Chains A and B, each alone.
Chain A
Amino acid sequence: MSGATEEKFRVEIISDECKGCLRCVNACPREVIVPTDQVNMMGVVYVEYADEGCIGCGACFYACPEPGAITVYEKKK
């Protein structure tokens, strides 16, 4: 993923904290959060970050009803 390291923002989704509601998927203006076909420890089909394209808008974070499932990181300048 050499492209991704150039990016200003990065999203991390803790799969075990995702309840699969897809709110983040619907909220992301860049469509860079996507469903997987994997099941987590709660038995939920979770979502993941597509590894590039995040603009750091936070829409996914505020759409997500779980406290810590989504973290948006910003590279220091």
Chain B
Amino acid sequence: MSVNETVKFGRSKGFFETFDRRPGPIKKNMHYCPGCGHGILHKLIAEALIDLGMRDKMIVISPVGCAVFAYYYFDCGGISVPHGRAPAVATGMIRANPDSFVISYQGDGDLGAIGLNNFLQAANRGENMTVCFVNNGIYGMTSGQMAPTTLVGQKTATSPYGRSATNEGYPLKVAEMVAALESPIYVERVALTSTKNIRAARTALRKGLTYMREKRGFSLIEFLAACPVNLKKNASEADDWIENNMIPYFPLGRFKDVASDRSPIERPEPVFDKEKVVEALFPADSGLDWRKKEAKLRKELRIKCAGFGGQGVLSLGLMIAEMGQSRDINVSWLPSYGPEMRGGTANCSVVLSNNEIGSPIVKETNLLITMNQPSMDKFLPDLLPKGLLLYDRTNIERPDTDRRTYSVEAGRIAIELGNPKCANSAIMGAFAACLRGIEQVNYEEAFEEAIRKTFAKKANLVNLNIEAFRKGKESVKIENVN
């Protein structure tokens, strides 16, 4: 450029100067095929980001589809999301930060097929976002399969004889559908073809973005766009095809524009102050506040209870958690549900802690309680070197391990008491005895309280389980002290 001239139309500052995120040697071009409509729209977006002063607060969501790498290009916030999920992620972002702007950039497969529900729900909630919907009538990225917007009669890789309305239904009229909803404020369909149409598209995009800047709500702009490669046409033929075939079915125009009747949406203020979040979730009088002040345990106990589905290992875990809770210890209980619940190996994770519990999933285990052989084989490798193993000697062989090991004949105790179901209370008795060796505080009374609470509605089972608990506690056997 010489000193006596200015750029009238040129590369937008809304794009990175070089596309350093793009692998390979080409750093100035985008990855789209020659003549692709995505490129035309990207330029309109980049330009609008700057002209409307929205770049610094904008997040452009890259969908799955050919626009998956949009974040290589726009010099603003960007995030790449799973297929069809852009409006859901966008919702989270603008609810958490209402002063940000989000473009949910989506293709017809992304928005109209896998993501239709997420899209419609966000539209129906009137989220303050602009959806840029690129309708090219095809799954571009995956090489030309039929999309929800593929025209009747249009041949694609998956409709080789042409889309049939009888079999696949009619192409989805997204703009019309969204305009029929109450919440959206602005809906327009444009085409990225002739100069006239591109100008109208530019105006529509800016209108949608301006409404978002004013926090008026949800805008959808549907861009009919060329995918010359999958249409097996050059750009000019692809445009002709859009004009002659798509536009008659997908008419261009403004389907809804009610922004002037709507005032900016008021949403609840997002809260990031942890104390306030805790207060809201666990009011002081709810008894659910987990922030305990006093340290009760020597260290966090990460416990795994495992056994046969019918042995009551889940309620064993629950009673241990119950015991902890009654003594103001933070607890979590996480059962592993699955087909094993029907009679294979069942297990649950229990964490007892002085602090807030990060993850309720127990992998590296301090205390392992096993009630059958398969669960011993499965979980013993996860027991930490300083961990403690307690197993039911009735039906498990003495394991070959150098971990501190205790056993109890829980199954036998239960049978002798006349109800095999109380084996879990028996092994819990043994567990209480083991815990006595670890902790300063004696929790035996707390365990008995937990049993009483658990069986409160089945009075006849309380004494049985208390008895099983005491017998288990008295007959625990030291197998290996390391």
Binding site for B on A (CB under 8 A): 9-10, 14, 16-17, 19-23, 26-27, 29, 42, 44, 56-59, 61-76
Contact yes or no, A73 B32, CB < 8 A: no
Max chain B C-beta neighbours (<10 A), residue from A42, A59, A67, A69: A67
**B236 contacts A67, CB within 8 Å?**
no
CA of A39 to CA of B155, assembled, Å? 33
Q: Is B359 an interface position by the 8 A CB rule?
A: no
Known: A23-B35, A67-B43, A67-B73. A72 touches B10 (CB 8 A): yes
Given the interface contacts A21-B234, A22-B234, does A63 sit within 8 Å of B5 by beta carbon? no
The listed residue with most B CB atoms (<10 A of its CB), out of A14, A61, A66, is A66
Q: Which A residues are CB-close (under 8 A) to B10?
A: 61, 68, 70-72
Q: Are B9 and A71 in contact (CB under 8 A)?
A: yes
The 9 sampled A-B contact pairs (Cβ below 8 Å) are: A23-B40, A23-B236, A26-B235, A58-B8, A61-B10, A63-B195, A65-B34, A67-B73, A72-B10
Residues of chain A within 8 A of B107, CB atoms compared: none
Nearest CB in chain B to that of A68: its residue: B11
Closest to A65 in B: B39
CA distance A23 to B30 in the complex (A): 16
Interface residues of B in 70-128 (CB under 8 A from A): 73
Q: Which 5 A-B pairs have the closest CB atoms?
A: A65-B39, A68-B11, A21-B35, A61-B9, A21-B34
Contacts of B42 in A (CB 8 A): 65, 67
A-B contact count (CB 8 A): 109
* B26 at the binding interface (Cβ < 8 Å): yes
B1 within 8 A of A: yes
The residue in B9, B28, B37, B199 that gathers the most chain A C-beta atoms within 10 A of its C-beta is B9
Check A21–B235 contact: CB distance below 8 A.
yes
CB distance from A57 to the nearest CB of B (A): 8
Task: Return the contact of A63 from the options B15, B46, B198 (Cβ within 8 A).
Answer: B198
> Is there a chain A Cβ closer than 8 Å to B4's Cβ?
yes
Are B6 and A56 touching (Cβ within 8 A)? no
Partner of A42, one of B26, B30, B46: B26
20 additional contacts (CB under 8 A) given A67-B15, A75-B4: A17-B29, A19-B34, A22-B35, A22-B236, A26-B235, A59-B195, A62-B44, A62-B199, A63-B198, A65-B36, A65-B38, A67-B28, A67-B39, A67-B73, A68-B11, A69-B29, A72-B7, A72-B9, A72-B10, A73-B7
Q: Is B202 an interface residue (CB 8 A)?
A: yes
In the bound complex, do residue A71 and residue B28 qualify as a contact, i.e. CB atoms below 8 Å apart?
A: no
Give residues 5-59 of B contacting A (CB, 8 Å).
5-12, 15, 26, 28-30, 32-40, 42-44, 46
Q: Bound state CA distance, A68 and B11, in angstroms? A: 4
CA distance A67 to B64 in the complex (A): 22
State A57–B449 Cα separation when bound (angstroms).
Answer: 84
Taking a contact as CB atoms under 8 Å apart, the answer to whether A10 and B39 are in contact is no
Contacts of A26 in B (CB 8 A): 235-236, 239
Residues of B within 8 A of A73 (CB): 1, 5-8
Closest to B39 in A: A65
Residue of B nearest to A9 (CB): B8
**With a CB–CB cut-off of 8 A, which chain A residues contact B28?**
14, 16-17, 67-68
Query: Which residue of chain A has the shortest Cβ distance to B196 in the bound complex?
Result: A59
Known: A21-B235, A23-B235. A75 touches B5 (CB 8 A): yes
Shortest CB distance A64–B (Å): 8
Contact partners of B9 in chain A: CB under 8 A = 58, 61-62, 70-72
What B residues does A59 contact at CB under 8 A? 195
Residues of chain B within 8 A of A16, CB atoms compared: 28
Q: Point out which of B4, B34, B228 has the most chain A C-beta atoms below 10 A from its C-beta.
A: B34
A57–B8 alpha-carbon span in the complex (Å):
9
Closest to B3 in A: A76
Q: Who on chain A is nearest to B17 by CB?
A: A68
Q: Is the CB of A71 within 8 A of B37?
A: no
The distance in angstroms between the C-alpha atoms of A24 and B458, with both chains bound, is: 82
Shortest Cβ gap from B10 to chain A (Å): 4
